[in-house]
Amino acid sequence: MTRIAVTLATVVLAVSSVPVRALKAEETPRGITTNRPNILIILADDLGYGDVQCYNPQRGKIPTPNLDRLAREGMRFTDAHSSSGVCSPSRYALLTGRYHWRTRLQQGIVGVWAAPLIAPDRLTVASLAKEHGYRTACIGKWHLGRDWPITAQQRKYFTGFGGRAGGGGRVATTATEEHRAVWRAVFSQPIPGGPTTRGFDEYFGTDVPNWPPYCFIENDRTVGIPSELLSAEKLKTNQASLQGPALAGWQLEPILPTLADRAAAFIRQQAKERQPFLLYLPLTAPHTPLAATEPWLGKSGLNLYADFVMETDAMVGRVLEALRESGVAENTIVLFTSDNGCAPYIGAAELESKGHFPSGPLRGYKGDVFEGGHRIPFLVRWPGVVKPGTLCGQLVHQADVIATVAEILRAELPDNAGEDSCSLLPLLQGGDKPIREHAVSCASSGVPGLRRGPWKLILARDPRAKTEVQLYHLDDDISETTNRAAEKPQIVAEMRALMEKLITEGRSTPGARQKNDMKVRRYPVAESTKKKAVSKREKK
* Residues with catalytic roles: 87, 143
Helices (H) and strands (E) counted in the chain, each on its own, are 12, 20
In the chain, the amino acid numbered 407 is E
Question: Is there a contact between 113 and 150 (Cβ–Cβ < 8 Å)?
Answer: yes
Q: DSSP class of residue 357?
A: -
* Distance, CA of 351 to CA of 221 (rounded, Å): 40
Contacts of 162 (CB under 8 A, 6+ apart): 168, 169, 170, 171, 172, 243
Question: Is there a contact between 346 and 238 (Cβ–Cβ < 8 Å)?
Answer: yes
3-state secondary structure of 325: helix
CA distances from 369 to 84, 436, 445, 450, 518 (A): 8, 20, 9, 10, 22
* Distance, CA of 76 to CA of 72 (rounded, Å): 8
* Distance, CA of 340 to CA of 83 (rounded, Å): 8
CA distances from 150 to 183, 247, 411 (A): 9, 18, 39
In the chain, the amino acid numbered 424 is L
Bridge partners of residue 77, in order along the sequence: 378, 392
Question: Is there a contact between 442 and 39 (Cβ–Cβ < 8 Å)?
Answer: no
Bridge partners of residue 179, in order along the sequence: none
Q: For residue 300, how many other CB atoms are within 10 A of its CB?
A: 22
